Each structure stands twice: as structure tokens, then as C-alpha cells.
Amino acid sequence: MAAAGMPDRVVVVEVGPRDGLQNETSQVPTPVKIELVARLQQAGLREIEVTSFVSPKWVPQMADNRAVLAGIPRPAGVRHSALVPNRQGWEAALASGVDEIVVFAAASESFSQRNINCSIEASIERFEPVCSAARAAGIKVRGAISCAVGCPYEGAVAPQQLERVARLMREVGVQHLGVADTIGIGRPPQVRAALEAALRHFPLDEVSGHFHDTYGMALVNTLASLEIGIQRFDASVSGLGGCPYARGATGNVATEDLIYLLDGLGIETGIDLGRLIDAGNFIRARLAQPNGSRVARALSARLPCR
Ligand code: HMG
Ligand code: MG
């Protein structure tokens, strides 16, 4: 039973293979990416953001998008998604057999320009034909709004800015909205205000939290989100990642740390923490990096390796 006022079940979307690895400067071999996805599935993850169909000149690490999708095991019941910035990305994603796509905008103009080289309005115009085509193909479109509470170039972002972009995304057919604290700067009052702004245009089960953990606020922001009924969160195994267009930003909250919190609150996720820790240790060993999850570090010494 979940604690009073908390949802009984939460969906965790693993974004490590995409948001986590996109920031790695040396090319991660495709078979390592494929093995990571397979291990995440064995740990019980049922929604995994596996790659991006963006320009390889902008994010070379994601250039093997087709090969990753062709190589991963595709069991029934697991949904594999990918980022798509425009029609070109959509066509490649469709041909690669994605289950779901993610279009991504920003709540701040400066970040929009830096990240996708166009204004917020222009990005929404690009999403419109992508959303129509995806709907016709029966593929769900999630949206993400970066800099939901703060921007590395403009500072604080008001909830009204987020709300406006959320409305525009809803109008062009985006079905789900991820509220992204790209630089991890938010604290519960700002994060809650951003989520409430999103909830004016999307239903409760179609709003998720995407919290980078740069300031160590991601778990407390998760708790604040759970308290207003949010039931979906993105997380990155072993805390992999950052953002190529937000210098100094660290990865999303580590999936292991999120699961430890949710388990303790009695909230079901279907994820096996031990196997998840193994997946995180696997990728960090391949990257020759220490594990960024506090829970993984604390428990690794005590759990047998598989
Ligand atoms: P552009 O240069 O303005 O695009 O980039 P363009 O339409 O002028 O095309 C230029 C070249 O890119 C052309 O090639 C196109 O074919 C190619 P050329 O003729 O020069 O050889 N191109 C593409 N190639 C492959 N796939 C495509 C594609 N589109 C164009 N889809 C563009 C605009 C959006 C493409 C570019 O800015 C881009 O790819 N940006 C990458 C952004 C990115 O991946 N950022 C990181 C992910 S977002 C994120 O992490 C935030 C999130 O986690 C939430 C949060 O935490 O905030 C989601
Ligand atoms: Mg992110």
C-alpha cells in the first residue's frame, strides 16, 4: 500500500540510453548501447527512450540511432521511444520502428535557439506535421519542454512561459507533456507551479516530471510532484548524462535512487532494484566512470554481482 495521498503505482521512463549517453564525448559502441537496453528491460523497465533522430552533426553520439533500434530486443509490453525534432527525424524514426516519439521544445527562447536552432514558435510549427503523421501511423507523441523553471541563458522561467508552450504543444496534437528541469535548479514551489501550469492543458496521467539532479533537488521535487498526483517520471540509470546545450548540467535523477524512494513509499513500479544496479554498474564500467547513483554505490558492496 502506498503512503496516504500517494499514487499506488508509478511509471518510470528510463532515459539513460538517450539523455544519459547523448552527452558522452567519446563514441559509445553500439553493442554496448544495445546491451544496456537489454539489461534495463531485464530489470523490469517497460518504457525506454533509446535514441534520438537528430542531426548527427549536432549530436554525433546518437548517429547510430537506426542500428540501436535494429539491435535491441523488442519484447511485447516494452515501449521504445526516440527524440524527433522535425519531419526528417520523424521519417527516420518511423522507418526504424519506434513505438513512440518525443518532440521537444523549450520554455525559453535562448535555449530553443541553442538546442534546436529555431524559435519556440518555429519549433511548434515543425511539430505540427510530425504529430499529424504520427497520429495517422498510430504512434504516440510525447512532448518535452526544457527549461521549465530555469534557463542557463535567461535565468528564472515563469510558469506562464511554460503554460504558453504547453498550450501550443497541445494544440498541434502532442499527447503527453514532460516538464523538464534541464539544469536541475528548481525547488518544490517552482516545480509544482510548472506542473500545475502543464496540468491546465494536459490530464494528470499525461504529465510527467523530468528532473536533472544538478543541485541535488530531483528527489525532493519528485516527492512534491507525487503529492499533487503526478504518476510518471523520467530517470537515468546510474545518473548518466547532462545536456550538450546546458553546460554544467548533470544527468537526470538516477533511476536506482528514484526506485529506492518509490519502494520506500510503497509505490509499485515493477522494477527490480538489484538488476537495475547491475545495469548501471555495467554501463559505468564500460564508460570507465564511477556510478552516479548514491543508492547503487551504497548497495553495490552488499549485493552479489549477476
Ligand atoms: P539545423 O542545422 O537548423 O537544421 O538543425 P536544417 O534543417 O537546416 O538541416 C541542416 C542539416 O542537418 C542538413 O544536413 C539536414 O539534412 C540535417 P546537410 O544538408 O547539412 O548535410 N538534419 C538532420 N539529420 C538527421 N536527422 C534529422 C535532421 N534534421 C536536419 N532529424 C536540428 C536543426 C533540430 C536538426 C538540430 O538543431 C539538432 O539536431 N539539434 C539537436 C538537439 C538535441 O538533440 N539536443 C539534445 C536533446 S534535447 C534534451 O536533452 C532535453 C530533454 O532531455 C529535456 C530536458 O532535460 O530539458 C528532452
Ligand atoms: Mg533531459
Q: In the CATH scheme, what is the homologous superfamily, with its name and number, of domain 11-302? A: Aldolase class I (3.20.20.70)
> Distance between CA atoms of 126 and 123, rounded to whole angstroms?
5
Average pLDDT over residues 58-82: 97
Domain ranges of the chain: 11-302
Amino acid 243: pLDDT? 67
> Distance between CA atoms of 86 and 162, rounded to whole angstroms?
21
What distance in angstroms lies between residue 97's CA and the mean position of ligand 2's atoms?
A: 23
CA dihedral 179, 198, 160, 223 (to 10 degrees): -60
Average pLDDT over residues 28-47: 98
Where residue 304 falls among pLDDT bands split at 50, 70, 90? Answer: low
Distances (CA, A) of 93 to 244, 251, 252, 264: 21, 24, 24, 37
Which residue's C-alpha comes closest to atom 34 of ligand 1?
A: 116
> Distance between CA atoms of 253 and 13, rounded to whole angstroms?
12
What distance in angstroms lies between residue 145's CA and the mean position of ligand 1's atoms?
A: 16
Amino acid 244: pLDDT? 67
pLDDT in tens, 178-221: 999 999 999 999 999 999 999 999 999 999 999 999 999 999 99
Q: Is the pLDDT of residue 33 over 80?
A: yes
Q: Is the dihedral of CA 35, 41, 43, 47 positive or negative?
A: positive
Q: Is the pTM of this model over 0.85?
A: yes
Are 293 and 280 contacting, i.e. CB atoms less than 8 angstroms apart?
yes
Q: Give counts: helices (H), strands (E), the chain.
A: 11, 10
CB of 210 within 6 A of ligand 1: the answer is: yes
Q: Is 243 in the active site?
A: yes
Q: Is the pLDDT of residue 76 over 70?
A: yes
Amino acid 306: pLDDT? 46
